[in-house]
Amino acid sequence: MASRCEKFRLGINSSHKLLSLLTLLALSLFVSCLTTPVVEKKPAKFISLFNGTDFTGWEGNQAFFRIEDGVVVAGRLDQAIPRNEFLCTSRDYNDFELRLQAKVSREDANGGIQIRSRRVPNHNEVKGYQADIGIIENRNIWGALYDEYRRREMLATPNQEKLAEVYKPSKWNDYIIRCEGPRIRIWINEYQTIDYTETDPNVELTGIIGLQIHSGPAAEIRYRHIEIMAIDEVGTKKQGE
């Protein structure tokens, strides 16, 4: 039978072995953490929709759309606008955040940004959601959401007092449109004007983007810094991925 001293020595040896194993395990985990690459989520990126020099990626009636100093100019100052005209992207977009700036030559100039829309076959019109621009019958519709040609009705409108605090007459105004599933939100100069959720399951949630000049008196609407970021259901990704 082992003496007490021998049992004590055996206990110490076992403790040393256990401690050594734990130390090796800890070192192994530490080295693993150092050598395992960290997977980082790609930051969301905006891409330009307009190159500032020509209408590559766009189509429309160039009698009423032109480019000046890197800016899209819709309409004319030397003649009335006989009908609605649209400059549209040649491809569709689904869930996205669209950013641009817009400025009007006169406060009652009427136009807007089409989203999730379609050209009406054999017609000048476009049908779909429109983020509005203009002042009609003394009502500011910048940042309102209209259903162009399809339902022909205003779907959501901003608070007039709050909009008046941020809107910049005759100057460039920042426009943000964010579409995620059936939800559409719009901001003018960082003020959220509307938060609309579509309830009709038959309404298409994809389509072209367009810039409009509405029929009416001679007027111009200028659009610049047009950029887009695609959104997926779990985060963000670059457009086209």
Task: Read off the pLDDT of residues 144-191 as tens digits, 9 standing for 90 and up.
Answer: 999 999 999 999 999 999 999 999 999 999 999 999 999 999 999 999
Domain ranges of the chain: 1-39, 47-230
Give the pLDDT score at 232. 72
DSSP letter for 168, please: -
Mean pLDDT, rounded, of the chain: 86
Return d(Cα 212, Cα 110) in angstroms, integer: 8
What separation, in Å, do the N-terminal and C-terminal C-alpha atoms of the chain show? 75
Give the pLDDT score at 14. 53
pLDDT, one tens digit per residue, over 61-94 is 999 999 999 999 999 999 999 999 999 999 999 9
Give the pLDDT score at 100. 98
b/e code 50-89 from CB counts within 10 Å (16+ = b): beeeebeebebeeebbeeeeebbbbbbeeeebeebbbbbb
Q: What is the mean pLDDT of residues 111-138?
A: 97
CATH number for the domain whose boundaries are 47-230: 2.60.120.560
Give the pLDDT score at 12. 45
pLDDT, one tens digit per residue, over 191-240 is 999 999 999 999 999 999 999 999 999 999 999 999 999 997 433 333 33
